[in-house]
Chain A
């Protein structure tokens, strides 16, 4: 054996900003609470909207109202105070809340308030509707709780990764690394595996060496992973839950 080394990377083991939106959403500080709730709404509004559409067969317009009303209730009624991360994942908790909301609160009140307490979150329902038309998943009325959890998990990952990709775009643009992101977009974000060009073709298209393609992609993936882990960290309440989610969703163990 020639060496036994601890290889020094640029930043060590996944430096994660320790901030939990769930803990913040239960904070007594109103600005902190609002910030936490908005982060949760930003990550979960699309999965919940699609859930209303597919699981409950709601129309486009009804699902829009329901989604906004639901997140308003989450804020007003402080739903998250009863969330216990030891008993369930946040997405499962939100699904149960959404089911109850539809079965009880919403039926009784019919008070719809678009925007509610999450004015700073952009609910782009047109985009969500377009995504639904491309989603292969379907949830029938007879779907089991397990299937519903799987659906929400998949949509949560889609939403989380979508946010991470947007952050990565901004991150790369801020550092003059647009080509890194464009390569990442062309190779890793292609809709179908067969859609993307090979490294050699990408190198020709971008006018760079093939080894640069490898290095640029490596950089973009590393930053994507870091950002995705930060987003995931926001959506978990404890270190144990964060680690478990990182393993399950990203196959990585943060430190």
Chain B
């Protein structure tokens, strides 16, 4: 019998732990990362000849709760067809009993890592608007993310902004009854894989979690919990940038108000305030006095003011010149 070195044993253990993809259309290329629910692998879809990301449970889950949660995440993603949300292609159970789903492989960087190379505040705010748009879409489809943070935002090589990791998302309401048959099928699937997160259960990330979420007040959570997290992301985006205008700081503060009633009513409203700021217009989070209005007006029409002033000065100089 051959002697097995420590290296060989480690390799055999790693090979044994790999998911069994025999008989499937996928071939593992490499491990990308892991999280609470499983491991994500870069794989090749042999049928379509493209690369995909496979999220696979580390073990067949005896209680079924983790498997249900992973499938639920896949169903939620399937319901959220939006350019800012990673699309899911397939889901099921592997021959070794592990539940998986296949999604688009996003070649990019996480926002928390990319932040150091991000430029002007206006660029950062445009990225933030894209995040708000994706979240607003999910809210419109009755889904709360509940774990929005820079680590869960991917920025693609062409500037795509994708909201990832919907593992602890909460379904606020089902799609309208008038929706197509496919929606009914998805609803049934989600009901079968419902994950109970009862009162007192704390899911989320400290620092990005709304106070009511941190208290485990699950039943009363609504869109405004995600608005709080968006405010925290906005605050994160302002770190290391040039001193941010007071209006943007005020927008972040309003989004992160302790009382949900004091926050933006929707992610769209938050995004609109950012758009107003970028256009040099007053934002709802920051009531201005007359001087601040003048300063903003001056800043917005800086070029026009300079041109008019130059014209007036020239006119005055010429007038004085010809009177001599």
Contacts and interface: CB of A to CB of B under 8 A. Distances in A.
Interface of A: 1-14, 124, 127, 130-131, 134, 136, 154, 157-158, 161-163, 165-166, 185, 188-193, 214, 218-219, 221-222, 224-225, 228, 243, 247, 249-253, 255
Contact of A251 (B13, B74, B78, B89): B13
A136 B3 CA distance: 13
Consensus secondary structure, chain B interface: mixed
Contacts of B189: 4
Interface residues of B, number: 42
Contacts of B1: 124, 127, 162-163, 165-166
Contacts of B304: none
Contact of A192 (B5, B12, B20, B88): B5
Contacts of A253: 59-60, 62, 97
B22 A4 contact: no
Interface of B: 1-9, 11-18, 20-24, 27, 58-60, 62, 74-75, 77-78, 88-97, 189
Contact of A10 (B14, B22, B27, B92): B22
Contact of B92 (A4, A127, A136, A214): A4
A3 B23 CA distance: 16
Most buried by A among B4, B9, B18, B89: B4
A191 B10 CA distance: 11
A221 B5 contact: no
Given A9-B22, A134-B3, A218-B22, A3 B13 contact: no
B74 A1 contact: yes
Contacts of B92: 3-7
A250 B16 contact: yes
B23 A10 contact: yes
B60 A189 contact: no
27 contacts: A4-B90, A4-B92, A4-B189, A7-B94, A11-B95, A14-B96, A14-B97, A158-B9, A161-B12, A162-B1, A162-B3, A163-B1, A165-B2, A165-B4, A188-B11, A188-B12, A188-B15, A189-B12, A225-B15, A225-B16, A247-B59, A250-B16, A251-B14, A251-B16, A251-B58, A253-B59, A253-B97
B91 A189 contact: no
Contacts of A163: 1
A163 B59 CA distance: 25
Contacts of B15: 188, 221, 224-225
A214 B95 contact: no
A91 to B, nearest CB: 15
B4 A222 contact: no
